[in-house]
């Protein structure tokens, strides 16, 4: 009895893959919040007002680019090197691994097309030239898409799927993802500052279902990263808040939200049914 109790407490004190991921994301995020939103924020505000580059703003930009946004990736990188001991090469192989390339391309392209059609029909251009969409997409693939999705869909979602039914694991992922974004609303130089936090929460909720469904259907982290980057790139040429985060939003916004969520649930249902069918077939072959 004593041995079992000791083993229980040792297991509790030694977090698994999910626990280590959450601990690392929390620690890195706390570091970024203190340095960016407490210590270096005045330099960012001054740069926005004057356009004058200072050492403080340079440090603000570097920490934001290489630590704040890529927090999920950094957490997985640290786990890969020090906990899993699988190395950096294995990490990048996992990120780019795609078994059914045609299927993955079609699903990801379909979701990107859905976003683009919605933006073309109902979006309000922000005045930026169209090449900013292309440039933004290419830049965001490594610095936003891969930087975030390596953790959210590569580790967090799959680990929660082992413990919870799919809808609940997505809801918890969405909640964690939403909380992680909250410091944006304390930074007056952020592109989300002043946007509807309720609308953003709704977007995160729907987006989590869409990205989770894509991952469930393709098992491809890079597919989720490309989808994530594509949506953010749309915000480079259209008013992001009006298009995605407005609350309560226009009729077109809410109709799109329903279509967006419905398509994600349909993809999850079809993927799950296909997976169960394949498993049943394998058992019968044996």
pLDDT digits (tens, 9 = 90+) for 98-127: 999 999 999 999 999 999 999 999 999 999
* Segments of the chain with pLDDT less than 70: 1-14, 279, 281-283, 285-286
Cβ neighbour number for residue 228 with a 10 Å cutoff: 24
**Can you give the pLDDT at residue 2?**
45
Domain boundaries, given as residue ranges, for the chain: 12-285
**Can you give the pLDDT at residue 6?**
47
CB 72 within 8 A of CB 23: no
Give burial (CB, 10 Å; 0-12/13-18/19+) of 56: middle
Q: What does the alpha-carbon distance between residue 199 and residue 201 come to, in Å, rounded to a whole number? A: 5
Q: What is the reported pTM?
A: 0.90
CB 86 within 8 A of CB 96: no
**Can you give the pLDDT at residue 11?**
39
């Amino acid at each position: 009895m004593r041995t079992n109790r000791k083993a229980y407490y040792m297991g509790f004190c030694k977090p698994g893959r999910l626990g280590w991921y959450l601990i690392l994301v929390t620690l890195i995020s706390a570091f970024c919040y203190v340095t960016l939103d407490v210590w270096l924020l005045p330099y960012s505000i001054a740069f926005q007002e004057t356009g004058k580059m200072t050492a403080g703003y340079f440090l603000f930009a570097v920490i934001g680019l290489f630590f704040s946004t890529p927090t999920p990736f950094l957490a997985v990188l640290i786990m890969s090197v020090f906990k899993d001991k699988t190395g950096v090469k294995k990490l990048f192989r996992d990120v780019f691994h795609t078994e059914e390339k045609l299927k993955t391309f079609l699903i990801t392209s379909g979701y990107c097309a859905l976003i683009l059609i919605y933006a073309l029909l109902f979006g309000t251009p922000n005045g930026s030239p169209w090449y900013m969409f292309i440039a933004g997409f290419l830049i965001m693939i490594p610095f936003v898409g891969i930087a975030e999705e390596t953790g959210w869909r590569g580790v967090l979602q799959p680990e929660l799927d082992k413990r919870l039914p799919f809808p609940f694991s997505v809801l918890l992922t969405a909640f964690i993802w939403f909380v992680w974004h909250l410091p944006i609303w304390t930074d007056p130089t952020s592109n989300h500052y002043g946007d509807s936090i309720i609308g953003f929460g709704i977007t995160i909720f729907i987006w989590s279902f869409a990205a989770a469904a894509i991952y469930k259907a393709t098992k491809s982290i890079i597919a989720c990263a490309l989808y994530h980057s594509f949506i953010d790139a749309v915000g480079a040429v259209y008013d992001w808040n009006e298009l995605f985060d407005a609350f309560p939003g226009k009729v077109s916004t809410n109709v799109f939200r329903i279509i967006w969520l419905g398509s994600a649930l349909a993809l999850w249902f079809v993927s799950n049914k296909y997976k169960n069918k394949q498993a049943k077939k394998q058992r019968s072959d044996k």
